[in-house]
Amino acid sequence: MSEVNAPSDRIRSCYICWENESDDDGPLVRDCACRGEDAGFIHLSCLVASAENESKNSLGNKNKFIEPWVKCRSCLQYYQNELSVVMANKFVSFVEGHPHDLNFLVEANNVKLFALSTLPILLPTQRKEAKEIGGKILSLIDRMKGGLTRSQSMTCLQMAEETSVTREATTVLPRRYLEIEASTYRKLGLIVLNEGTRESAGEAIAHYEKFLDLSKAINDTEGVAIAERAISIAKSKHNLFVIDPVERLKKTQAVYDIHVETYGEESECAIKSGASLAIDLWDTKRWVEAESLIAKLASISKRVLGPEHNTTKLVESKLHWMEKKKKENAHFVLYVLTLLGAFVVGLLHSLTGLMILFVLLTLCFIMLEWFFSLKESTKRMARGSTSAQAADMANV
């Protein structure tokens, strides 16, 4: 919850109860795309009570049942950071406390896994928890596939046996749960890949391959494109080879095109996959296109999600990186030109020793440039996995 009830010229108040004091759950919170001095602030207790109320009145409508827990009703964007995790925990507690349907238990845990997998930094305890939740979702879906008669350990199972939706699931599992199964493998892949070891990359490949198989089984072209890209990145980490930048660019372009076509250029997932595309364009030496794309995305993200949003910060950091690299490259060209000029002067005056020195210095610059560009490219490849978070935004 990034913003609290800090002193301000204008007094902030909760947009539900209109009080401006802290309550038992703490100060006013806000972490979405709301901006300005006072818009979108709310007490956590008011937010949870309102979400519970809306969910209870929307049992027949899955989206309306879930949305109050994940999206701000003011700006209609997803909560992020700690607030998204806190709300996901409250959602799971709500569903477990009022077991209407096994399907809702899957949905609530899916929201929780989404919240954890999109945190900018995942603590070891959160990583462990995320893996456990992923396992729980997969086990719940397995039970739905298998016909749900066993384990008494799951809080909602007995209740679920009584529901019509779940009876349908014993014969044909609705597509929605196959999508959740696929996206769970995807999130698990991302979480283990970010552990950064060769072994974890191997584990990530196994998850991503299941994600790919399931996406193919349900004809999900977006899932297939994301899975293929993620597998190639994980394989490069596992086998420690560098992927051909042109091949990676093609895969990233495919993901970005699908995001733009499906969710629009201004959607958060298109902004994130576009940022990965800009990096891949840069790596294939298409610098002008790369810079123009990242500048456009930074402007869209600032306008749609706000300057303080994680996605805006991510895109702006890539824009600043490119601007810095451009300056460095301009300096490099200037050095080389100066040295060559000096070489010509040496040549005209027949100073052999001076000419050899200039040639050696020029070669040194070229070698240094090659070394640093290779290092950057490898580093960025390691960061590439973060872009796999992009389309998760659309999968909650």
Binding site for Zn ion (CB under 5 A): 14, 16-17, 32, 34, 40, 43, 46, 72, 74-75
| Phi, psi dihedral angles at 218 (to 5 degrees) | -105, 15
State the minimum distance, in angstroms, from the CB of residue 22 to Zn ion. 10
- What does 53-89 look like in DSSP terms, one character per residue? HHHHTTTT-HHHHHHHHHB-TTT--B--HHHHHHHHH
State the minimum distance, in angstroms, from the CB of residue 293 to Zn ion. 27
- Give the bridge partners for 26, in sequence order: 23
State the minimum distance, in angstroms, from the CB of residue 79 to Zn ion. 8
State the minimum distance, in angstroms, from the CB of residue 71 to Zn ion. 8
- What does 290-344 look like in DSSP terms, one character per residue? HHHHHHHHHHHHHHHT-TTSHHHHHHHHHHHHHHHHHHHHHHHHHHHHHHHHHHH
290-299 contacts, C-beta under 8 A, 24 or more apart: 290/322, 291/319, 291/322, 291/323, 291/326, 294/318, 294/319, 294/322, 295/319, 297/271
Closer Cβ to Zn ion, 32 or 111, answer by number = 32
Closer Cβ to Zn ion, 16 or 295, answer by number = 16
Distance, first Cα to last Cα, the chain: 20
Closer Cβ to Zn ion, 18 or 241, answer by number = 18
State the minimum distance, in angstroms, from the CB of residue 239 to Zn ion. 43
Closer Cβ to Zn ion, 34 or 278, answer by number = 34
Closer Cβ to Zn ion, 52 or 222, answer by number = 52
